[in-house]
Homo-oligomer: A and B are copies of this chain.
């Protein structure tokens, strides 16, 4: 038995997310289909560090898969075969042997995501499906303050979409949440032990709502305390989520 680890990039625009789904084109399903074809196996099952949303991208997704015929298989030719057959919006950056007990999800210590905002009066044709177009001005000082309220260990339930999920706890730790700006492009960098479904897009949506409505960023503290984004609160009325095509799984730390 052999265990292989893959580093994968993909443009998520034409996929219904990472996770395999019946009758839908997923990244996992696409790679598994190609693996089965190349290896002439009936089954090939990938385990990934993150299940990215429909439309979300990955710069370095990490996945592993196990094979009984592994000992006879060299990583280098398999990597070449995969990239030759896969569609060009999915690329395997590397493929190598891993310890038999390596598990891409359980072993992951930190995950880093980037969310891209294109902040300019006129959108760019080159970022239309790769960054969230936000034409209103962004108060960078307020942005920095608002982001700081998310840092640390919190129950992130009010910033998650928990329907159709089955998680033991909604407590997560955000080690880093910061931004960098280059011209009209603002990148929000989030590093945490794990992320709930919808968590990043709800965080960014709330941050932009606070910017738009010039709210006090301490509202975030209040939401964590009350554990809800109540209907009375303005933050709920102004679109509390942002599109997936601005979201990138950037790196996984083991």
Contacts and interface: CB of A to CB of B under 8 A. Distances in A.
Dominant secondary structure of chain A at its interface with chain B: loop
Interface stretch (A90-98, A209-217, A220-228): A90-98
Q: How many A residues touch the partner, as a band?
A: 10 to 19
B93 A125 contact: no
A123 B92 CA distance: 9
A180 to B, nearest CB: 15
A11 B88 contact: no
Nearest to A89: B125
Contact of A122 (B83, B89, B123, B130): B83
A128 interface: yes
A106 interface: no
A126 B93 contact: no
Copies in the complex: 2
A48 B151 CA distance: 50
Nearest to A83: B122
Contacts of A124: 9, 91
A10 interface: yes
A10 B125 contact: yes
A234 to B, nearest CB: 28
Contacts of A11: 125-126, 128
Contacts of A123: 88, 91
A186 B67 CA distance: 39
Interface in A34-82: 57
Contacts of A89: 125, 128
A160 B95 CA distance: 43
Interface in A133-164: none
Interface string A111-128: 000000000001111101
A122 B10 contact: no
Interface of A: 9-11, 57, 83, 88-93, 122-126, 128, 130
14 contacts: A9-B124, A9-B125, A9-B126, A11-B125, A57-B126, A88-B123, A88-B125, A88-B128, A89-B128, A90-B125, A91-B122, A91-B124, A91-B125, A126-B130
